[in-house]
Amino acid sequence: MLEAAQASLDWLPAIDPPRVFIPLGAAKVSAGFPSPAADYEDKRLDINEYLVRNPVSTFFFPVQGDSMQGAEIFDGDILVVDRSIKAIHGHIVIAFVDGERLVKRLHHRNGRVALVAENPAYPTIDIRGDMELVIWGVVIGKFKRLG
């Protein structure tokens, strides 16, 4: 029972997270050749403000698996999911299909509804009339701790 109560707490949104402003580099970091950029700090960035647009409807979900690596979503990433956004064709969504929670790209065209993986090793899930589909939220970002 206690575990179930704790699990439900994991679903609560961060309503009013403390603001922590961290220095934001003025120059972009080169992922190619090194740049002799001298200015490293120009303004400050609150990571919550950057990632969370609507705190009461935003949730974080850890990713397990590799079906979305073509969308740069990898095993161990933390997804930022906003339930207030109406999902449209092309959005990456958190969906429940017959009770199973998935992250996939929503295909909704010409009467066809499907959930598409971003890895050719995984099949597209065409939603048929006998299947239950709930689009739970739209993925608006992700983050990952390195090292």
Active-site residue list: 67, 104
Q: Torsions phi, psi of 93, nearest 5? A: -130, 160
Residue 102 is which amino acid?
L
Q: Torsions phi, psi of 56, nearest 5? A: -70, -15
**Minimal CA–CA distance to 55: which of 64, 46, 66, 63?**
46
